[in-house]
Structure 1
Amino acid sequence: MTTKVTRAVGVDIGGTGIKGALVDLEAGGLLSERVKVPTPHGAEPDDVLAAVRVVLATLGVTDADIPLGVAFPAIVKHGKTLSAANVADTWIGFDAEHFFEQGLGREIHFANDADVAGVAEARFGAARNVEGLVLLTTLGTGIGSAMLHNGQLIPNSELGHLPRPNRSTDFEAWAAYSVVEREELSWKKWAHRLQEYYSYLEFLLSPDLFIVGGGISKSADQYLPLLELRTPIVPAVHRNNAGIIGAAALAVA
């Protein structure tokens, strides 16, 4: 008789921080305090691996019997990172899953950070039991995205890198939350940029629901009501913990 796995560890590697926690896979919540360390300057593989070791040691979950999922800000195919968003270019074409498994001495499940956030919202949050096409976007240092159709993930969508029509920049460079901080935009001015972005996604994909994740989703009432869209748009239930929860959930999928 197979014992049901009810907990796993999720680690979410980002451009500015690396977060991890022990996750309840039945309730979709954290069983431990969230541990966060800064992403090492330059974010080279060896340095990121060392930081992940610190997170796991701080959590006290270095035991390989506890499943581990790792989320990373890159296109991930067959365990390899094919892009590098806010991390070193060394990661491009890098066999990252094997690298982490060798460095941690255990098997892991390795996936794109926005994709795992989408999985968390599909299983335990705003996309649960939603039929049709759901688009989750994470607004932070960049813009990540996850596409879900009838609850099933369509991986590596990278919709933040869509080029702005008749412009030289992509939407991430123009509308990510990091731009708000850098250019000191008001909520209203940022909402104007988000309006253009989400309207373009509507035109291209006709989704049934938008979900907005990332740390800034906690302030969703400041900017989401300023948008005029045909598609419902809601903040992520798990906000900045979605990556941790989704990574842990995929570790036992």
Structure 2
Amino acid sequence: MNVEVIGIDLGGTAIKLGRFGSDGTCYQSLTVATPQPATPDEVIDAIANATTQLRENVNKVVAIGLGTPGPVDATGKIAKVAINLAGWQDVPLAWVLEEKTGLPVILANDANCAGLGEAWLGAGRQFENLILLTLGTGVGGAIILNGELFVGHQGAAGELGLISINFEGPICNSGNRGSLEQYTSVQAIRRDTGLEPAELAEKALAGDEKALSYWQQYGKLLGVGLGNLIYVLTPEAIILGGGISAGADLFLPAMKAELEQRVLFSSREGLEILIAELGNQAGMIGAAKLAFQKLVKIEDQLKS
């Protein structure tokens, strides 16, 4: 397949773009500042201009995949809400970009794109069925089934951080109580300790008993949440990403012990727990894979 796509990761401060071949080779990449305020019109113009730069003297680009910081509709065309971007509500992002670029465009949530990226070129490349959990400011997730991103019939599946592990726990922005995010996010660590995750990790590595104990409890709670997901999805692998995963050695033993205690062997046989490999490039890479899966495949089917 001698065609290329552009993968785009739209963030609150930066927009990352890459031009990819079907084997995952990135031929060119570009990062531009997200306009401030990040209104839809300004952001779309910035993306269109950057896309033009990537396509200069290149005629192989046939589609665009784009990850947005929020949910999209089931068709992959409308950004329902974009977190940390001003005035985003039901923005027909893909349709407008298609008009400006002349290329088909598909959207997905940024965490979903990160999961697809890790499944394609990162820690999950050997697996067809996996979960990505991003442990950051919030807790996001992605589900890959049979090599394809699973988003459900309305496009909103995979909000893994919002499952409840304590029905009387802290109130979540989603309206839930005691969600996994309320115990395993950066915000949860700040709330509980007054420290950033890196500071807490540093204390633990220096032998601080309270810090070590906190990470033990963190691993246990993460194991509780993952246990629920394993029973439903029985993935081949769970990939942990996000900033907190940098300190995984501090909580993985407790997490794995919890899984062994709570999850039947038949549901976790062969399960691998891995750390994400692609860092902040995962979303851009996954957006490109999304374009290949959803748009290039359709084009090939129409030709045959």
- CA deviations 1:147-172 (Å, max 9, x no partner) are 12232321131222335522213444
Please give the alpha-carbon distance, in whole angstroms, between the structure 2 residues aligned to 1:121 and 1:216.
17
SS in 2 for 1:106: coil
Q: Which letter does structure 1 place at the counterpart of 2:158?
A: S
Q: 2:95 aligns with which of 88, 95, 98?
A: 98
Give TM-score, length-normalised by structure 2: 0.67
Asked if 2 retains the 8 angstrom alpha-carbon contact of 1:128 and 1:151, the reply is: no
> How far apart are 1:141 and its partner, in Å?
4.0
Unaligned runs of 5+ in 1: none
Please give the alpha-carbon distance, in whole angstroms, between the structure 2 residues aligned to 1:147 and 1:199.
18
**1:130 matched to which residue of 2?**
127
**1:55 matched to which residue of 2?**
50
Q: 1:39 aligns with which of 9, 34, 56?
A: 34
SS in 1 for 2:90: coil
Unaligned runs of 5+ in 2: 152-156, 173-178, 202-210, 260-270, 294-304
**1:212 matched to which residue of 2?**
240
Please give the alpha-carbon distance, in whole angstroms, between the structure 1 residues aligned to 2:149 and 2:283.
14
Please give the alpha-carbon distance, in whole angstroms, between the structure 2 residues aligned to 1:5 and 1:213.
32
Q: 1:17 aligns with which of 9, 14, 17?
A: 14
SS in 2 for 1:200: helix
**1:70 matched to which residue of 2?**
66
**2:286 matched to which residue of 1?**
246
Alignment of 1:73-222 (within 5 A): 73-76=69-72, 77-78=74-75, 79-88=77-86, 90-130=87-127, 133-155=129-151, 156-163=157-164, 165=166, 166-167=168-169, 168-169=171-172, 170-172=179-181, 175-177=184-186, 183-185=195-197, 186-187=200-201, 188=211, 189=214, 192-193=217-218, 195-206=220-231, 207-208=234-235, 209-214=237-242, 219=246
Asked if 2 retains the 8 angstrom alpha-carbon contact of 1:15 and 1:141, the reply is: no
> How far apart are 1:146 and its partner, in Å?
0.6
Please give the alpha-carbon distance, in whole angstroms, between the structure 1 residues aligned to 2:33 and 2:188.
20
**1:228 matched to which residue of 2?**
255
Structure number with greater Rg is: 2
> How far apart are 1:73 and its partner, in Å?
1.6
Distance 1:125-1:46 versus aligned 2 partners, 3 A rule: same
**Structure (1 or 2) with the greater helix fraction:** 2
> How far apart are 1:129 and its partner, in Å?
3.8
**1:7 matched to which residue of 2?**
4
Asked if 1 retains the 8 angstrom alpha-carbon contact of 2:3 and 2:22, the reply is: yes
Distance 1:93-1:24 versus aligned 2 partners, 3 A rule: same
Please give the alpha-carbon distance, in whole angstroms, between the structure 2 residues aligned to 1:119 and 1:129.
13
Distance 1:140-1:101 versus aligned 2 partners, 3 A rule: farther
Q: Which letter does structure 2 place at the counterpart of 1:19?
A: K
Asked if 2 retains the 8 angstrom alpha-carbon contact of 1:210 and 1:233, the reply is: yes
> How far apart are 1:62 and its partner, in Å?
8.7
Q: Aligned residues: percent identity?
A: 30
Please give the alpha-carbon distance, in whole angstroms, between the structure 2 residues aligned to 1:75 and 1:152.
18
- CA deviations 1:114-148 (Å, max 9, x no partner) are 222222222333223425x5210223343321112
Asked if 1 retains the 8 angstrom alpha-carbon contact of 2:215 and 2:251, the reply is: no
